[in-house]
Chains A and B, each alone.
Chain A
């Protein structure tokens, strides 16, 4: 019998025995055979060993017949995969057992990962929902948002004109260009009037978007010319089911909108609101050429197939330049801006912020990774013997790597699963912190895409933090593992730890300054002084709809009566109507110059209309002069102005402004009768230099239909809301107040983004700080502790304990310093990207950076010194025995 046959028989015998035992153990024959083969390993190794050791021994005389492939042939690729799967499953079970056996280490690692993966999943969900997810429109990628900006006026997101629209339509770049203008409508005819946010839309807009009504029809082209006497409306599913109780016969019925009878011609699909969360649409358009130059609408274009945004931008810029020379009055200084539709709702600042947030939590995850890698490395040292024994007993190198990686994976998946939970909690908090409804297509939540993302970062991180320990395991070698005592921080296994220290310090130094800046910005915003007493103010808006207000005189009488009667309510001190709510509206920019100056030196300032009692209501005292008189209040020809302090300083530096005149090139000449302190008109955090140039005019000059009303209360202003509604209904039951908010509520509403972002960064910063402190301390302290023996020897050989300690600290500081230096470079760039996002803080504030670096270096010193101190005091003979 040949040697080869001998070996084959022996192998087959073994496999059969094992298979039989397996079957007796309850496996199916197929399973039993595969398990036997898996447990046996590669029979080729046995054959090789046989040839090597048995040749010339015993009976067999090595006549080399071809080896029976009985065993080998049966292992097809599929079976190999099955066998791999089975070994993976086994490793997984062993891995879980290992994790359960070390609850503290597992807990720390899982917690780090859950926080890291959770934060990333949550922020990706936000990023994805706002910036990536397909818009619910047909071929949404080709939709263009067209608005205008004028840097000179400080106007960022201004409407465009009908002429702009026509120019883009004939440019050949677009398949279509339509427009909308958001408005708010008053619905009457029910129990009480209701304000509904809506928009006027050109008849072709919804067709351009590819959205259809669930019942009825869209607007007809000719209905666009109805401006001013519209007769048809489209409503959202939400409004239909809400206000109209889902009335199945609503289509074709007449409803009362802004005091006019209008027919509902279509109900849009459920979920559709436009442009943000509006519910009611009227046709927009004009046949009147005199309207063609009014900035009154936002354009929506669809790129022609094969053209890109660059072409759209080019066309927009070229037309803007032409228009500026052709129509300097209306188009001078203005540039059309064509950008992807989504960007019209998420401005560059928000996009940058979201990206920074994603980057920041990515860094947090890396920190978590570094920590877990360190924990695993520490444990790997304790497992060296186990792995070495397994290796010596025949477990292949790959098998050991697989074992360690699978354990990392088990750890990672546990952390990932918890992380999804963390993400859910964070998103709930996030949604709860948003005080207004999100734009209808911005869906933030955990769906399949987000879960897939969570799974991929979980796998990625597991691989990342599992690689180092796996690499160590692959070198598991008994001799080394027994011989290798402790080495210096920079040698051998220490090199991995050194890299970890550098990485952790670097990551922390990148994150901490930005987090500090965000938190300080948010705090600055909370304590910013608006220039008036806002705690006891109630504010709301009202628009005069209906024919009885076509007469400007009637408008003024109404607002004067509202101010007087509300100010007389019990619990109220005083009230006034104004064209702009401070710290919210901004005010409308106008050009102004001192009398006797050439027109091209005009400045832009905000014009604010108000009824009498305005300054009193705000709790502001004039710095000079007087308030408007009763006769000036409603007079359309009044020629008086109260200038803000800064306007006075700019127009007549060092001189007395009282009695001087300003010229508004578009309107006329006005005499200065008073000087007012500068107020905060823009939203907090949107401080523009020009925004604080303020001119106050009496109401009659403008005679606006829509005004805001401010009411000062003696106590909580919110408690006055019911009596305010009642009083307004008794003045004119057809007008409904809307946007009713106390000023503190308004402040929260205009600063929630800052607040939310500040809080996000505070949370991520705190997690990062915690991870970094634990991580840096852990890595350094562990590696010093494992040098106890070396330190003992050095001291036994006569080294001074102090010298040894300072050497250890110096080593730690060197690494931390290196990490901090690398981190600082990125950190400065990261913080600079926050410019324009943060408020009232300097993004290059050296204190912030120095503080973060110092905190990390101190941690490193403490982490080196404490264990070194302990080690140096250990009796050298003890130290020699310790590991």
Chain B
């Protein structure tokens, strides 16, 4: 996976993972494992991802300032890194959702022709 440019129409889907992460964090702070679990359980088999590939996306989004990280205690009292949505992240999610909706309409037209 190479450089990301959200304005490139072709990378719309690449942004899908980021969008899913943002969507997941909308509910509140979570650690990486919980995020991956949530994405897996909500998207089904087709989004079977190497779980590790979640982290580069998280770091990238952290770099861009969409999310923030902090160490805390997990449900089983383990030290875990929690991610929280920033205001910028919230705004990005709205943008992404709009883009996605346009994009998926286009995909649908392709996949299920009239």
Binding site for B on A (CB under 8 A): 6-7, 9-11, 13-14, 16-18, 21, 39-43, 45-46, 48-50, 52-54, 57-58, 94, 385-386, 388-390, 392-396, 399, 478-480, 482-483, 878, 881-883
Contacts and interface: CB of A to CB of B under 8 A. Distances in A.
5 contacts: A6-B81, A50-B55, A53-B63, A389-B13, A478-B14
Nearest to B8: A479
Given A17-B33, A478-B14, A49 B55 contact: yes
A386 B79 CA distance: 37
Contacts of B69: 58
B59 A53 contact: yes
B62 A57 contact: yes
Contacts of B8: 479
Interface in B70-113: 74, 78-81, 106-107, 109-111, 113
Given A50-B59, A389-B16, A394-B1, 6 more contacts: A13-B81, A41-B52, A45-B52, A53-B62, A392-B13, A882-B113
B111 A393 contact: no
B15 to A, nearest CB: 9
B46 interface: yes
Nearest to A788: B113
A9 B81 contact: yes
* Residue of A7, A39, A94 with most chain B CB atoms under a 10 A cut-off: A39
A475 to B, nearest CB: 14
Given A41-B50, A53-B59, A392 B17 contact: yes
A14 B79 contact: no
Interface in B12-31: 12-14, 16-17, 31
A177 B14 CA distance: 80
* Residue of A389, A483, A878 with most chain B CB atoms under a 10 A cut-off: A389
* Residue of B10, B45, B109 with most chain A CB atoms under a 10 A cut-off: B10
Contact of B51 (A40, A52, A57, A882): A40
The secondary structure that dominates the B interface is helix
Contact of A881 (B1, B53, B74, B114): B114
A47 B55 CA distance: 9
A57 B81 CA distance: 14
Interface string B42-73: 00011111111111100110110000010000
Contacts, number: 127
* Residue of A53, A395, A882 with most chain B CB atoms under a 10 A cut-off: A53
B55 A482 contact: no
A621 to B, nearest CB: 79
Contacts of A399: 50
A16 B17 contact: no
Given A14-B33, A478-B10, A482-B10, A393 B16 contact: yes
Contacts of A386: 46
Interface residues of B, number: 44
B47 A479 contact: no
Contact of A40 (B12, B14, B17, B50): B50
Given A389-B47, A394-B50, A54 B10 contact: no
Contacts of B55: 7, 10-11, 14, 46, 49-50
Given A9-B81, A13-B79, A478-B11, A49 B60 contact: yes
Nearest to B34: A17
* Residue of B1, B53, B63 with most chain A CB atoms under a 10 A cut-off: B53
B62 to A, nearest CB: 6
A385 B111 contact: yes
A883 B112 CA distance: 9
A91 to B, nearest CB: 11
A18 B1 CA distance: 25
B27 to A, nearest CB: 18
Nearest to A51: B59
A394 B11 CA distance: 13
A41 B59 contact: no
Contacts of A881: 109, 113-114
Nearest 3 Cβ contacts at the A-B interface: A394-B53, A479-B10, A49-B56
Interface of B: 1, 8-14, 16-17, 31-33, 36-37, 45-56, 59-60, 62-63, 69, 74, 78-81, 106-107, 109-111, 113-114
Contacts of B60: 49, 53
B78 A16 contact: yes
A49 B33 contact: no
Contacts of B12: 478
Given A54-B63, A388-B13, A883-B110, A13 B53 contact: no
Contacts of A16: 78
Contacts of B33: 13-14, 17-18
Contacts of B45: 94
Nearest to A54: B59
A49 B48 CA distance: 20
A392 B80 CA distance: 27
Contacts of A46: 52, 55-56
Given A50-B55, A881-B109, A483 B79 contact: no
Contact of A392 (B14, B52, B79): B14
Contacts of B62: 53-54, 57-58
A75 to B, nearest CB: 13
Nearest to A394: B53
Contacts of A394: 1, 17, 49-50, 52-54
Contacts of B37: 21
B53 A478 contact: no
Contacts of A58: 62, 69
Nearest to A7: B55
* Residue of A7, A11, A18, A479 with most chain B CB atoms under a 10 A cut-off: A479
Contacts of B56: 45-46, 48-50, 53
Given A39-B50, A45-B52, A53-B62, A13 B31 contact: yes
Given A17-B33, A46-B55, A52-B59, A390 B78 contact: no
* Residue of B8, B12, B33, B36 with most chain A CB atoms under a 10 A cut-off: B33
Nearest to A9: B79
Contact of A389 (B46, B74, B113, B114): B46
B107 A385 contact: yes
B114 A18 contact: no
Nearest to B40: A39
A752 B48 CA distance: 59
A190 to B, nearest CB: 76
Contacts of B52: 11, 14, 40-43, 45-46, 394
Nearest to B107: A385
A39 B51 contact: yes
Nearest to B45: A94
A478 B13 contact: yes
A392 B37 CA distance: 18
Nearest to B114: A881
A399 to B, nearest CB: 8
A6 B80 CA distance: 10
* Residue of A11, A21, A46, A54 with most chain B CB atoms under a 10 A cut-off: A46
A17 B78 CA distance: 10
Contacts of A54: 59, 62-63
B70 to A, nearest CB: 8
A392 B114 CA distance: 27
Contacts of B107: 385, 482
B79 A393 contact: no
A292 to B, nearest CB: 84
A479 B81 contact: no
Contacts of B10: 478-480, 482-483
Contact of B53 (A45, A50, A480): A45
A75 B80 CA distance: 24
A388 B1 CA distance: 12
Contact of A14 (B11, B36, B48): B36
Given A385-B107, A482-B10, A881-B114, A10 B50 contact: no
Contacts of B78: 13, 16
Contacts of A9: 79, 81
A42 B53 CA distance: 9
